Amino acid sequence: MAEILNTALLQAHLEWEKIEDNKALFERKIKELPQETDLIILPEMFSTGFSMNAQNLAEPHKGPTFKWMQKMAAEKDAAVTGSLIISDKGNFYNRLYFVYPDGSSQKYDKRHTFSLAKEDETYASGRDRLIVDYKGWKICPLVCYDLRFPVWSRNTVDYDLLIYVANWPAARIVAWDALLKARAIENMSYCIGLNRVGRDGSDLDYIGHSAVYNCLGKQISSNLQEKEFTELVKLDRQHLKDTRSQLKFLQDRDRFTVHLNEE
């Protein structure tokens, strides 16, 4: 069990629908990370930007970019996570992969597709939440718009770390900042939000504000940055355990079951 989880946030400008260019960018950034890195976080749709052009951009499940993630994970001996446009069994998905250093993986399909951008008309919604066990840490990875739905992220299983990978526009960045902090506090968990910067092919601007909050809602990453940057943040499991032992808020949580509406 790792008491310290060295987590790398890669906030970057994404080249619109240029898969190989984006992989090359992130490969350079990943190779520059220190060897003690445990977990590498990439944005939502990190190889393309937030595109609805799934017909032309989708890769098969465990296709070329997934294999590239495996290569990066093996080379750095670190887990790599981020989402891609995937075609699987007749549907398109905004699919997050969590790739372990040994090449094994787990997947999460974005549950809340963003209707304002008509994402729901292109991509099928996922049905299952994912809880990853990595180096003794229980991790719940989610995608962008999921951030607005606290029931879906509710910490009913004592996870230690909540992750949101995103393409969250500048126009609504105030909500991003507030909700990340809220998710950390209400779930008594570390919460990481990894966003992109730059302008996409739909003329939407992104200003990053990637951040890490501890279980009390204190920001433990650097000031909210609006440019391309990489940051390594140490997550302390003992601090999490001590705080939960002292403040037993999770013991008073409501017990409930989520019923999915598929209409």
Q: Which residues are catalytic?
A: 44, 110, 144
For residue 130, how many other CB atoms are within 10 A of its CB?
15
- The candidate with the shortest Cα–Cα distance to 94, out of 152, 132, 45, is 45
Cα–Cα dist 24/27, whole Å: 5
Pull the structure tokens for residue 213. 């909050």
242: Cα within 13 Å, side-chain hemisphere? 6
Q: Which residues pair with 141 in a beta bridge?
A: 163
Handedness of CA 198, 201, 203, 208 (dihedral sign): negative
Burial class of residue 120, CB neighbours in 10 A (0-12, 13-18, 19+): middle
Pull the structure tokens for residue 194. 């990894």
